[in-house]
Structure 1
Amino acid sequence: MRAEAGTCLDALAPLLDPTTFRHIETFGLGYGWRCWEVGAGGTSVISWLAKKVGPTGRVLVTGLDTSWIASVARPPVEVHVHDVGADDPPVEGFDLVHARLALVHVPDRQRAVRTMVSALRPGGRLLVEDADPALQPLACPDEYGPAQQLANRVRQAFRTLLAERGTDLACGRTLPRLLREAGLRGVRAEAYFPVASPACAALESATIRQVRDELVSARLATGQDIDRHLANVASGDMDPLPAPMISAWGKKA
């Protein structure tokens, strides 16, 4: 399970990092900035921020389970255990707060956003990015053959599993409203939706392998169907699409 989760993170980095970095760079990120990375999963964003802020800056990384990243963190990166949906801000005065694929797992997202906003200095920026599977629920919108039809059935099974876990499949679209309600100014948002990329196939394969046993146990899909779908993805003859990613950002007055 941990290996598949790591593969998912490895696939997400080339897909999402360019968009994340593009948004953050427009904020003027540079040496000496104080940044808070909320619910970090992989190391790519953390490493990039650390290089940008330099030795005079600070990159605070928080999450519920930080054991794996604490062992590899080096200054200016610091690692704290923190629940953004329940705890007060660890510190305040940040120039940048960023959360990617973190809020979808938080029951009280309004409180989480208020916590992140309160940690900003006046003029500081918040960038929140999360998926919205309900915006485009298909793995293969171009359903021209049996492999694509099977992919869409497996994607539907996966979405059902997420819903049964309590995941909000429409989380992404709520981000602009949440940022405005928290008092941010100049709120903007964009959707990123890659259509064909080797990283998309790698992400699909790792994701389905990670939840395979749960899908079968819940009788949402058969092991035979899942194995056939994974073989179809591995063949390279199909383009499974990930869910659209919504990036929303704003500035503290």
Structure 2
Amino acid sequence: MTATNTIDPAEVAKFEAMAAEWWDVNGKFKPLHMLNPCRLDYIVDQIAAEFGRDINQPLPFKGLRLLDIGCGGGLLSEPMARLGASVVGADAAGGNIPVAQLHAQQSGLEIDYRHTSAEDIAANGERFDVILNMEVIEHVADPQGFLEVCNTLLDTNGLLICSTINRNPKSYMMAIIGAEHVMRWLPKGTHEFDKFITPDELCAMIANTGLNPVDRKGFVFNPLRWDWSISDRDLSVNYVTASTKA
């Protein structure tokens, strides 16, 4: 049974206030622009492996229907469209959608951006081969209910990719004190420590929906090289999971 509403209005308002800055690489979304190449590497590799696609071929994801939940300004929707996927970008913050639509138009991309919720899309009976749920679950009112909606939206043999932030003293220091107070990459209050989710908790919630967690990796920031990398072992702060629907 899907939840009727997992949207947290206060969280939506935070991102609505920053909507105009999505494509400013030095603005409030600078951390996401820095992380994006690492996120894309993981996403592309997982989709290619799950669906047997050769990423060296033109439009390798052609024929796949992909939902980017919490799409923001389209930082992930656009590269997925360039790889040939049929992309629906959904966001509960209405101010994000015109920004995303304009940038896609300027980039010559056709992306179906919608100011809507995952629940409303599910209510229409839509299904997707791939769902991206990236840095979203820590901002919803009901994480378990939200994942149940994702399961409803996912087609048989589909792939769910979900990333979030671990909950421990290190993640508090890095994601809140470091990113919001010291580096000021994000406005204060963007994240709430109590909403962070450990990898074991997330995989248990995913499994409770009937999906099968098949992979988890860490996104690790190196302050000396000033870049991100994917780690098999270090999931202490940012991490990502992949799950399949049999």
Identity within the alignment, %: 15
1:121 aligns with 2:155: yes
Match of 1:64?
A: 92
> What SS does the aligned partner of 2:126 have?
coil
- One-letter identity of the residue aligned with 1:120: L
Match of 2:64?
A: 33
Match of 1:218?
A: none
Q: CA deviation at 1:110?
A: 1.1
**After superposition, where does 1:70-149 map in structure 2 within 5 Å?**
70-74=101-105, 76-84=110-118, 87=120, 89=122, 91-134=125-168, 136-137=170-171, 138-139=173-174
Q: CA deviation at 1:22?
A: 2.5
Contact kept? 1:36, 1:59, Cα under 8 Å:
yes
Match of 2:240?
A: 247
Higher mean alpha-carbon deviation, 57-66 vs 130-139, is at 130-139
> What SS does the aligned partner of 1:71 have?
helix
1:17 is aligned, of 32, 40, 55, to: 40
Contact kept? 1:135, 1:170, Cα under 8 Å:
no
Match of 1:236?
A: none
Higher mean alpha-carbon deviation, 1-10 vs 189-198, is at 1-10
Q: Partners in 2 of 1:169 and 1:6 — Cα distance? A: 19
Deviations 1:208-228 (A, max 9, x none): xxxxxxxxxxxxxxxxxxxxx
Instruction: Flag the structure with larger Rg.
Output: 1
**After superposition, where does 1:139-218 map in structure 2 within 5 Å?**
139=174, 154=181, 162=189, 165=192, 167-170=194-197, 172-196=199-223, 197-199=225-227
TM-score scaled by length of structure 2? 0.66
TM-score scaled by length of structure 1? 0.64
- One-letter identity of the residue aligned with 1:129: S
Q: CA deviation at 1:50?
A: 0.7
Unaligned runs of 5+ in 2: 1-17, 54-60, 229-234
Contact kept? 2:132, 2:161, Cα under 8 Å:
yes
Q: Partners in 2 of 1:178 and 1:117 — Cα distance? A: 11
Kindly indicate which of the two structures has a greater share of residues assigned to helix: 1
Contact kept? 2:167, 2:193, Cα under 8 Å:
no
- One-letter identity of the residue aligned with 1:250: S
Q: CA deviation at 1:192?
A: 2.4
> What SS does the aligned partner of 1:43 have?
coil
Q: How many positions carry a matched residue from both structures?
A: 197
> What SS does the aligned partner of 1:193 have?
strand
Higher relative contact order (CA 8 A, sep 6+): 1
Closer, same or farther: CA 7–110 of 1 in aligned 2, 3 Å: same
Q: CA deviation at 1:11?
A: 2.2
